[in-house]
Amino acid sequence: MRLYGIAVLLFCFNNIYCQEDRIDSDRPDQTDGTNVIKPGQVQLESGFYYNSFAEEDPALINSSLLRIGVLKVSELRIIVEEGIKRDYFTEETGQGIYPLAVGSKVKLLEAHKNLPDISFVYTMQVPLTSKTQDKQMKWSPILNVAYEKEIGEVSLDINTGVKWNAFDYDFTYQGTSSLRYEITKNWMAFFEYFGQFSPEIHPQHNIDTGVIYYITQNIQLSASTGSTLFYEDYNRFVLIGGAIRMPQ
């Protein structure tokens, strides 16, 4: 009887686990999806960048995003980026966000017959001590609207918004688009464009591509590489990372 009871419990646990949706991360690409994690869930997405620059020493940066489910339609977000050449990475690349930031994502529209899913993503830099003596960090925000549409095994994500610079009061317009394709149940590939546009400087265009491997429903690994396009001070990078979702 005891063995029968244990077998029933194991079957129920396995059935619940298998019914849980696969982890849906905003990394490794630069484009945020519209998905918000469930209330009470915690998800960590982290990776290491190696950036090669035209006129500067390479940067080695750990970038991490912690997502905490609050409501059915919203989550809290904490971003930490730290490493060698951190301030240069933040200021000069399309991948850099802020050394420390907090924010939220709110789902505005989901499962509409003709329209894409839509979410609003807000990020605010928390000023830290600058590693460059002649610069001072600001309370800088990022305002983004994320769009997502799935067609079979293909998912198209688009972000549009505005980012205020980390060290001054100037801002840039941002645009990203990511195309994800599910190769198998465990493998996904993506190709992405992301750019920054400002009246004051030459536009910075970037592309990257990579793969995601799902170890379990709650754990993934990823690798990607990318570069600036048509930009004199080039930035080329490799990113190795992963994500883990803590089951409720």
% of the chain with per-residue pLDDT over 90? 79
Domains of the chain by residue range: 25-246
**What's the fold here for domain 25-246?**
Porin (2.40.160)
Q: Using DSSP, state whether 89 is helix, strand or coil.
A: helix
Classify residue 8 as exposed, middle or buried by CB count within 10 Å of its CB (0-12, 13-18, 19+).
exposed
The strand ranges marked E within the chain are 42-53, 59-71, 74-84, 100-109, 117-125, 141-151, 154-164, 171-182, 187-197, 204-216, 219-229, 235-246
User: Between 91 and 14, whose confidence is greater?
Assistant: 91
pLDDT of residue 12: 44
pLDDT, position 7 = 42
Give the model's pLDDT for residue 135. Answer: 85
The answer to whether 77 and 103 have CB atoms below 8 angstroms apart is yes
Prediction pTM value? 0.89
DSSP state of 22: P
pLDDT for the residue 11: 41
Q: pLDDT per residue over 165-192, tens digit each?
A: 999 999 999 999 999 999 999 999 999 9
Three-state DSSP class for residue 149 = strand
pLDDT of residue 129: 84
Determine the average pLDDT of the residues in 230-247: 91
- Tokens encoding 31: 């484009």
Binning pLDDT at 50, 70 and 90, where does residue 20 land?
low
